Amino acid sequence: MKGLALALSWLTVLPVRTDAPAAPVAAAAIRWAPIVGALLGAVAGGVLLGLTALGVPGLAAGLLSVGFLAVATRGMHVDGLADTADGLGCFGPPERALAVMRDGGAGPFAVVTLLVALGAQASALAALAPRGVAALAAVALACTAGRAAFAWVCRRGVPAARPGGLGSTVAGSQPWWMAPAWWIVLAVAGFLGWGWRGLVAIGVGALLVVVLSRHTARRFGGMTGDVLGAASEVATTAALVLLATGGPTSW
């Protein structure tokens, strides 16, 4: 329960009070993260359906729902995606890339990456909106898949790229099988709800996270908290776009 409380405190704007996290509690928070993602996705799906019922145009409803998710997570994941894009886009040794990521500004790589990712999410939500409860389920599944990516980035054998911060607290805290276990569960859920499209949505997101984690570990010399956010947004975006492609299946 301490792990769940810490996950809610870290990953949402909910005013959950926690003590300074010990290593076992921080590790438990990463394992709870997909559940928190499911809750966030369900609420965001409800926001999308509510806006649609009020007559808000589909793309506007999608953008507002994406904005809700950013606010509900304090913008940490989109900030991590932006910083990771700038870090990967710069030249020089890992120290320079990490310095660029710490700078706090948004360079051209960050701006373009955010436009593409958030635009793709909003467009996917606009396509999902007319599908009713299937849209809510799709958003919940995608957000869960995004938070399941944390366990892969934090797998054992990948050190923290720098001391201090969230990355050093959770680096190497998860067994290698934790993320695949989550992905298998989500792939089954995706297949039951959307057929092969749901299975592919989770699989493609997982593959992108594996590639991103491997590349960032080499480029930065390990993982950072920004990479956690980037992995979450990449997996969520991939799942949403693929789930929105085509018409409803089992739903």
Indicate whether 28 pLDDT > 90. Answer: yes
Q: What is residue 15's predicted lDDT score, i.e. its pLDDT?
A: 85
Q: Read off the pLDDT of each residue in 205-227 and give the average, rounded to a whole number.
A: 96
- Whether 59 contacts 122, CB under 8 Å: yes
Interior/surface letters 25-36, b for 16+ CB within 10 angstroms, e for the rest: bbbbbbbbbbeb
Whether the predicted pLDDT of 7 surpasses 90: no
pLDDT at 250 over 60: no
pLDDT of residue 248: 56
Give the span between the Cα atoms of 174 and 91, in whole angstroms.
31
For 147-181, the pLDDT digits (tens) are 999 999 999 999 999 887 778 899 999 999 999 99
Q: Name the DSSP letter for residue 21.
A: P
pLDDT single digits (tens) 46-104: 999 999 999 999 999 999 999 999 999 999 999 999 999 999 999 889 999 999 998 87
- The maximal CA–CA distance of the chain, rounded, in angstroms, is 51
- Report how far residue 125's alpha carbon sits from residue 113's, in angstroms, rounded to the nearest whole number: 18
The residue type at 225: G
pLDDT band, very low/low/confident/very high, at 105 (cuts 50, 70, 90) = confident
Q: How far apart are CA 174 and CA 164, in angstroms?
A: 18
Give CA separation, 15 vs 8, 77, 108, 166, in Å: 9, 18, 34, 19
